[in-house]
Structure formats: C-alpha cells, structure tokens
Structure 1
Amino acid sequence: MSGKLAVNAERLIKTFSGNEVIKGCNLSVPAGCIYGLIGANGAGKTTLFKLLMGLLTPTAGTVQIFGMDVGERRDEIIKCIGSIIEAPAFYDHLSARENLEIHLEYMGTSGDVPATLAMVGLELANNQPVSKFSLGMRQRLGIARALIHKPKLLILDEPINGLDPMGIREMRELFLTLKTEHHMTILVSSHILGEIELTADTVGVLVNGVIAQEVAPSVVKKQYPNGLEDYFFNIMAGGKQDA
C-alpha cells in the first residue's frame, strides 16, 4: 500500500429530525486495503456508507474519495465506486446479463459481462430472469453489478447476506483476489465477524455513530486469542482496549 487514502472522512455528522445518527465520525481507509466495518444494528453503518457515496448530504464534516471532495465532485467520484447498499434491486423480468448491460449504459462505460458473471458464479444463469433467482443468487448479482465497471473502490454493505457457506467462501476468495490482483480498495460491513477477521487488513468498530476503535485483526488476535468476536463484545460492553 502506498499510503494514499482511498477514503477520508473528517468530523462527519448526520442528523435526522434532530437525532444525530453519525456523530463527529472520522474514517481513513488506505488505498489497496480491505477495511472491515463492524457494529451493532442501528450503529449507523449504512448511513455512513451513504454519506461516503454522496447519497446523503452530511449535516457537517467532509468526505474525500481519492482526494476528491464528494460534495463537489460526486458525479466524477461515483464512476470509480462500486457498491451494494441495502438489498440490491433489479429489473426482475430481465436476465442477469441484461441487468448488467443496463447498468453499464447508465454508468456510461463498458465492461465484460460474461467474465464478471463468472467471477461471482453466475455464468450458468446469465440468461435466466432475475425473478427466478434465489436470495443468494440476487446477492451474487449485486456484487457483479458493483464490479462490472472495474471500480477503484468497493463499498459493500452486508454483501454476503443470503449466501450459503460455499458462497461465503467464494466471495471471501473473490474479495482477496480483487485486492491483491486488481488493486481494488474494499470497504465492507458484515455481522459475520469471522469473515471480517479472515479478509480485513483493518477493522473499524462503529459505536453509536462514531468509530470507537480501528485495529488490525492480527493485533486483536494477540490480545484476544478467541478473535474478533471477543474484542467486539468487550468494546460493546464498554471495556478499555489496548489493541
């Protein structure tokens, strides 16, 4: 990693109807790494991701993606981001291939549809209507859509929801390949802490709208032999962290 930041959020605040959901949050994601964001339900993970992408306007604070201010250059920035935010939606009467082709047209770019579908294990379902897809297949298609335009940054909100154990392993291997061979930066949230532990270079713990801790899983392992789960629950219980 070069030290360049893919994502830099400073003093980020987001208020809804007088309620602060994100509270002076700072987040730094080095380019070329996998950053795992974990937190309890309601901690603000999805809201934070939407702020980073410019889908929500911050009440205060700044966000930069590869040095570009999201508030000033959102249209430019969005083309270098691939994302899954909440449950992915598709044109259900169309095939996986057609959905990706429409996305490429919308993005104003090109991409290798068959190769991308193969990357996520959908090569045999590329002409099947999405209405016939299982939850896991829809999630795979969502990941394919995030990848199809070869973004520099992936922002993935619970990307392995609905996948079976084999699918989870395949996506884990895919994310690691995207980092090492395609030099993508990946910012991913998950409630499956074991997967974050296996893939992330850095873990950020979001508690009540603030990044309470940032740590490498290898450092956590030294202090908590049972791993990230014990570390996380200790933070949630208000424990002091030396990692």
Structure 2
Amino acid sequence: MSTTDVVVIKNLTKTFDGREVIKRFDMTVKAGEIYGFLGANGAGKTTVLKLINGLSSKTFGDIKVLDQDISTHRETLLKNIGSVIEVPVFYEHLSAYANLAIHLAYLGISSDRQIKELVEAALERVGLPDTGNQAVSKFSLGMRQRLGIARAIVHKPKLLLLDEPINGLDPLGIREVRELLISLSQNDGVTIIISSHILNEIEHIADKIGVIVDGRIVEEVTLSEIREKFPEGLEDYFFDMMTGKNNKEI
C-alpha cells in the first residue's frame, strides 16, 4: 500500500448558527486505505464527509484531497471523488442507465461508447446487470442503494466516500458490497472512507479506524492495533471509546 496521503485534514472547524459542530478536527487517510469512520449519531460523521466532498463549506481549517484544497479545486477534484452520502437521489422516471449517463456527462465524459462501457461495468460490479433500462421508480430500497454505489464508482474515482452504504441491503447484498469495497481497495487502488453503524462490517474491511466524538477525532488507530488490545473485536473497542473507559480526553 502506498504511503501517499489522499486526504489530509487539519484543525477543521464548521459552525452552524453560531455553534461549532466540527471542532479542531484532524484526519489522515492514505492511498488505497479503507478508513472506518465511527461515531455516535450526531457526532458529525456526515458533516465531515460533506466537507471533504465540497458539499458544505468549512468555517476554517484545511482540507486537502490528492494534495489539493477542496475549497479552490472542487471542480477538478470531483472527477476523482465518488460518494454515497445520506439517501441517494435519482431521476425517478429515468432508467438506471440514464441516471448514470447523466452523472458521467456532468463530469465531462461525452463519448457514447465510453459512457456505455462505464455504465455497464458499474452496474455489473454492484450486482445490477440487465437492469439498465428499468426505471428507478421500480427499484427496491436495496437496488437503489446498489445504484447509488454504482453512480459513486462509475467514473473510476480515486477516493470513495460512503455514508451507511449497506442500508437496505439483505445479507447477500451486504456481503457483495463488502467484497466490492475490498476489491476496489486492493485491486483498483481506491481510497475509501466509510461510515457505518454496523461495526461487524467495518471490522471485516477496514485498515484504519477513526473515532469522532462531539465533532472531533479522538483517535486514529489501525485495526491490527485494536485487535491486540481488544481480542473480542471492534465492538468492545468502540464502546470503550464511547464510555471513556480508555481514559482518553473526549
């Protein structure tokens, strides 16, 4: 795995209505790494992902993606970022194929042949082959989630931001997405930041864990280091962090 830092955040602060919801936040994610982003509801995980993607603007601090400031290079960086943040929204009356084609056109890909190749490959990879002509309005919740992931990877991004990506998936779908993410990381070199409440899934795939409490990172640690201290697994570590039993200042 490369040691190149794909995401570097320093002293990030975000204020809403005069209240700091993200405060003195630091994060480092290396190339090809799967970074499990953990925290309680309302801790600020979704807000941070939106800030990395440029969907929200920082109050102050530094956010660099691929060594460029997201605030000043968002248009360029979006071609290298894929994301599923909150509930995926689609053009309901259009087909799955058309939704992905529109996304590619937005990113500047206009060749019909290239669009066809990219869309078909993405649908195949997320387990939605032969659904391209079907209207999204007919999709189940699980199919919509898969389509959201397809849209996030269709342009072959270098960075993937995933906020609860397995919501609505059955056990088979969860396993398939797990295998997809591992493949994207190991075979395609994609860097992934994934937030999920299903700790067992994070434990299956993550290289490193970052824990956010009350708007700031309180620890970044490799999964192997966690296993040394918590043989029973990630759940014990997470609850230890949340209850403050490890004596860290949170």
Kindly report which structure 2 residues correspond to 1:18-167, keeping only aligned pairs within 5 A, or say none.
18-109=18-109, 110-111=114-115, 112-167=118-173
Query: What does residue 233 of structure 2 align with?
Result: 227
- Cα distance, 1:241 vs structure 2: 6.3
**Hey, what's the Cα distance between the residues in 2 that align with 1:127 and 1:222?**
49
Runs of 4 or more, structure 1, over 6 Å off, are: none
Query: What does residue 203 of structure 2 align with?
Result: 197
**Hey, what's the Cα distance between the residues in 2 that align with 1:124 and 1:75?**
32
**Hey, what's the Cα distance between the residues in 1 that align with 2:228 and 2:3?**
25
| Letter aligned with residue 207 of structure 1 | V
SS at match of 1:140: helix
| Letter aligned with residue 38 of structure 2 | I
Show structure 1 runs of 5+ residues with no match.
none
Same amino acid, percent of matched pairs: 55
**Hey, what's the Cα distance between the residues in 1 that align with 2:247 and 2:146?**
36
**Hey, what's the Cα distance between the residues in 1 that align with 2:78 and 2:242?**
33
| Letter aligned with residue 61 of structure 1 | G
Supply the RMSD in Å over aligned alpha carbons. Answer: 1.1
**Bigger mean CA offset, 102-111 vs 69-78:** 102-111
| Letter aligned with residue 244 of structure 2 | G
Q: TM-score, normalised by structure 2?
A: 0.94
Show structure 2 runs of 5+ residues with no match.
none
**Hey, what's the Cα distance between the residues in 2 that align with 1:105 and 1:13?**
33
- Cα distance, 1:73 vs structure 2: 0.9
**Distance change (3 Å), C-alpha of 1:128 and 1:18:** same
- Cα distance, 1:124 vs structure 2: 2.7
Q: TM-score, normalised by structure 1?
A: 0.97
Q: CA offsets, 1:152-197, max 9 Å, x none? A: 1101111111111100000000000001111111111100001111
**Bigger mean CA offset, 139-148 vs 121-130:** 121-130
- Cα distance, 1:2 vs structure 2: 2.2
